[in-house]
Amino acid sequence: MSMTPNAEKNKLKIVQRVFNQLFETTLNTRLEFGFEEPFYLASNQEGRSVIQSRYDYLSSALHEIAHWCIAGDARREVDDYGYWYEPDGRSDQQQALFEKVEVEPQAMEWILSACCQHEFNFSADNLEGDVTLSEAFTEAVTAKVAEFWQEGLSKRSDMLVRALSEQFYDRDCQLPLSLDIIYAYLKDSAPLSKSILQLSSNIEAKFV
């Protein structure tokens, strides 16, 4: 399910417009893309919070939005939400810590990706290290998606999910989020790995 650069950028512009219409005035937060590295600026010179995503990459924007969606009031007052960040080349121990804090954001990113009809991929964010994602991490992310479905999302997340689904599906997305949205894009994803198929089956089993 590949997209041309123009198609991806067009989707990104829609996401940016939807996000900024929802939150620029109400929560004083904007989404901007085109940066070399992602970053959450708690307050710029105008006193506005800015979510900065990489270049024209839709996945980067959705991931950074996901962090914002799950961050509490106190964390949103601090640059990059006050999280530590180790660059590429992390050790096994450092990678384990990274995975621990990435479960909820990547679960939220998965839901946002599905609402945008965009392929989601688990990310180790450790290109230079000899480390791969653990099975425990992918299972934890999947379980968190199921938990979001069962228990509901925060008010901000719920508003964004509904607004994006109306843009990309022309319908109101009721929660728990319809399984067909994510499941269809899992099945159509390329490359389609055995682990992703198994994870999608695990999600489906939770709602039978």
What is residue 178's predicted lDDT score, i.e. its pLDDT? 47
Nearest 5°: the CA angle 48, 57, 150 is 80
What band does 189 get if pLDDT is binned at 50, 70 and 90?
very low
- Calculate the alpha carbon distances from 70 to 3, 65, 81, 154, 159 in Å: 28, 9, 10, 8, 13
Provide the pLDDT for residue 27.
96
- Over residues 129-149, the pLDDT tens digits come to 455 677 888 888 888 887 887
Q: Does residue 38 have a cis bond before it (omega within 30 degrees)? A: no
Average pLDDT, the chain: 79
| Euclidean distance between CA atoms 113 and 111, whole angstroms | 5
- Per-residue pLDDT tens for 58-69? 999 999 999 999
Residues making up the chain, counted from first to last: 208
d(CA 115, CA 102): 20
